[in-house]
Amino acid sequence: MKSDFVLGISAYYHDSAACLIRDGEIVSAAQEERFIRKKHTAKFPSEAIQFCLNDAGVAWQDLRFIVFYDKPLIKFERLLETYLTFAPRGITSFITAMPVWLKEKLFLKNLLRKECGRIAGITNLKDLPQILFGEHHESHAAAAFFPSPFREAAVLCMDGVGEWATTSAWVGNDSSLTPLWEIPFPHSLGLLYSAFTYYTGFKVNSGEYKVMGLAPYGRPTYVDAIYEHLLDVKPDGTFRLNMDYFDYCTGLKMTNEKFDELFEGPPRTPETNLTQREMDLARSVQEVTEEVMLRLGRTLYSETGQDYLCLSGGVALNCVGNGRLLREGPFKGIWIQPAAGDAGSAVGAALSAYHQYLGKPRTIAANGDSMKGSYLGPRYTNDQIEQILKKIGAVYCRLEEDQLLEQMAQHLASEKVVGWFQGRMEFGPRALGGRSILGDPRSKQMQSVMNLKIKFRESFRPFAPSVLRERVSDYFEMYTDSPYMLLVAPVLEKRRVQLTEAQHGLWGIDLLNVPKSDIPAVTHVDYSARVQTVTEATNPRYYRLLQMFERKTGCAVLINTSFNVRGEPIVCTPEDAYRCFMRTDMDVLVLEDMVLLKQDQPPVPEDTSWMQEFELD
């Protein structure tokens, strides 16, 4: 019987991506940024699409449908209506945006056909498969529910904005998704968070993670001001923003002078010193976000009576909020789409068309979920890697797995930093042991070394631990799977280091270099950690490395950070990995069975101009 192949695409906003499914099974998925080396790119995902099709050996003619993740006409209606409501304030951005919309985006179907025809080498565009359009939040909801391990569940999507919805609630049952209610633009939890991201001097749609990381250094001093002036939250969690304080409707900037007045100063200039004020602002917006997430979760639970919850949309990357929802909320279990932002909607769009449009049944994975650990991107064989290494003149040796793991565990235990490249590249923003940089979490200096000498990023940023699944409760207050590093949990009381008398008065960034536990490099200032649990089934070689490290050191945890420097997309190819390895203070590089030591490599010219290559995030 002929298979049903569906290609999902998300593009033209941020985090462009493609996904291929075969008879409802997710076969491959990747973000365009990894191929063209531009973080969060909005470009049409030509490279990602070609990877997905080539990897599966699927021709364009084999596709049943191409599905785009949102509906441009409704988005246009929202933009137009918003501009008109706020006219004449947004006239400049209106004039900038409209020609692009009128020329390209409004006729997106034609543009998509042209782009697909171009990469397919098809001149008669009638020969292309039919193009369908999903709705933005429906694609999020589908990405959250269909790959989840649950037969039925409540579904909550929270993001900045797509068409009109910014928050939406659904019930998933087998192969169907039923909408319950939504909160429309401009009232948006994602945009509120982004407004504070902008105001604290970070990049919108990218620096939200930093605000979350900064929050534990701060005090919740602005919570009352947020509730009093910016956000009206009802007991059921639904909310309205007071638009007097925000300028995003006019497309000019996120916040305005009134916002500055309320928080007594202008936005922080990016890259200038962070002060306690930014930390307090971060803590305050984080607390408010968590409270809204908890209330919405409780409401959805009482409305649906479902035991399980699925989450998606950019706000679902707020792993501190997710962790609280799991610990303090009413649900028995929570599953979060690992590519919770718009990239994951390529998966959702394809699955939605398959189950809801074609009416095909859904198969639930026997163990865990259907995202395959999110290892859905390109992989390289040992032979391919050897060829590449020979071509670039790298010095390497090829090892059997046992020897390789033994050596890596030894390097890690002696505080060496290891670039770890094996298997398929991860889909979504987190590296999960396919394209990771690893270190020893017991080391007191590792956080600072890895931030400043390896990643070239801000010193306050915490690192996350990978832990053997069966040992997670020996380190963290966590009793479930967290395969995608999207749940934050407290480090166990017994592992914490109590502050000395002299340290008791310290607050904020002054606490940065005070060890908090026996795994200090992955313990945040508030004793929390963003945990990834690793199983043999999803990533056998990484699992065995963790086992080997535990055998050697008694510690079943490693630092796992993404394989890139600040502003750079996660590495995709062995060439990307080698380049990143040579530009940083990483000590060892593993590419499948190949091991490279920094000291053996031919020197590269002293040149730091590459640092300008990546726009700072």
Q: Bridge-partner residues for 131, per DSSP?
A: 66
Tell me whether residue 205 or residue 523 sits nearer to Fe ion (CB atom): 205
- Spatial neighbors of 354 by CB under 8 A, at least 6 apart, are 4, 6, 21, 24, 360
Residues counted in the chain: 617
The C-alpha atoms of residue 572 and residue 426 are separated, in whole angstroms, by 9
In the shown chain, the binding pattern of residues 342 to 381 toward Fe ion, with x for contact by CB under 5 A and - for none, equals x---------------------------------------
The conformational region for residue 26 under phi > 0 = left, psi -120 to 50 = alpha, else beta, is beta
Element (H, E) at 29: strand 25-31
- Compare residues 159 and 587 and give the one whose CB is closer to Fe ion: 159
Please state the closest distance from residue 278 (CB atom) to Fe ion, in A: 26
How does DSSP assign 405-430, residue by residue?
HHHHHHHHHTT--EEEE-SSPBSSS-
| Terminal-to-terminal C-alpha distance of the chain | 48
Nearer to Fe ion, 14 or 516 (CB): 14
Give the separation between CA 179 and CA 168, rounded to whole angstroms. 8
Q: How far is the CB of 216 from Fe ion (least distance, A)?
A: 27
For Fe ion, which is the closer residue by CB, 159 or 278?
A: 159
CB-nearer residue toward Fe ion: 138 or 342: 342
Cβ closest to Fe ion, residue 159 vs residue 481:
159
Q: Which CB, 135 or 342, lies closer to Fe ion?
A: 342
Using CB under 5 A as the binding criterion, the count of chain residues that bind Fe ion stands at: 3
CA 95 to CA 291: how far, in whole Å? 38
Nearer to Fe ion, 212 or 408 (CB): 212
Are 437 and 454 a contacting pair, CB within 8 Å? yes
239: β partners: 233
- 517-546: which residues touch Fe ion (CB under 5 A)? none
> Which has the closest alpha carbon to 582: 433, 439, 441, 419?
419
Applying CB under 5 A, the span of 88-96, 101-109, 158-166, 235-243 interacting with Fe ion comes to 158-166
Whose CB is nearest to Fe ion?
159
Out of 47, 70, 159, 593, the only residue in the binding site for Fe ion (CB under 5 A) is 159
Give me the 161-180 binding string for Fe ion, x by CB under 5 A, dash otherwise.
-x------------------
Window contacting Fe ion (CB under 5 A); options: 153-161, 303-311, 402-410, 533-541: 153-161
> Measured between alpha carbons, how far is 317 from 430 in angstroms, rounded to an integer?
10
Alpha-carbon distance of 374 to 171, in angstroms, equals 24
- Contact region for Fe ion (CB under 5 A) — 159-167, 413-421, 464-472, 487-495? 159-167
Q: Is 390 exposed, middle or buried (0-12, 13-18, 19+ CB in 10 A)?
A: exposed
CB of 408 to Fe ion, least distance (A): 38
Say how far apart CA 122 and CA 114 lie, in whole Å.
9
Binding segment for Fe ion among 45-53, 67-75, 155-163, 466-474 (CB under 5 A)? 155-163
CB of 15 to Fe ion, least distance (A): 9
- Nearest distance from C-beta of residue 166 to Fe ion, angstroms: 9
Residues 6+ apart with CB under 8 A from 582: 598, 601, 604
What is the nearest approach in angstroms of Fe ion to the Cβ of residue 349?
Answer: 12
Shortest spacing between CB 313 and Fe ion, in angstroms: 5
Closer by beta carbon to Fe ion, 16 or else 284: 16
From residue 110 to residue 149, the character string flagging contacts with Fe ion as x (rule: CB under 5 A) and all else as - is ----------------------------------------
Nearer of residues 162 and 520 to Fe ion, judged by Cβ: 162
Cα 363 to Cα 2, 5, 168, 346, distances in angstroms? 18, 16, 25, 19
Helices (H) and strands (E) in the chain, counts: 19, 21
- Of residues 326 through 345, those in contact with Fe ion by CB under 5 A are 342
15 binds Fe ion (CB under 5 A): no
Choices 156-164, 178-186, 205-213, 371-379 (CB under 5 A): range interacting with Fe ion: 156-164
Which residue, 162 or 439, is less far from Fe ion as judged by CB?
Answer: 162
Binding pattern for the stretch 205-234 against Fe ion, x by CB under 5 A and - elsewhere:
------------------------------
Q: How many CA atoms lie within 13 A of 140 on its CB side?
A: 28
Site residues for Fe ion per CB under 5 A: 159, 162, 342
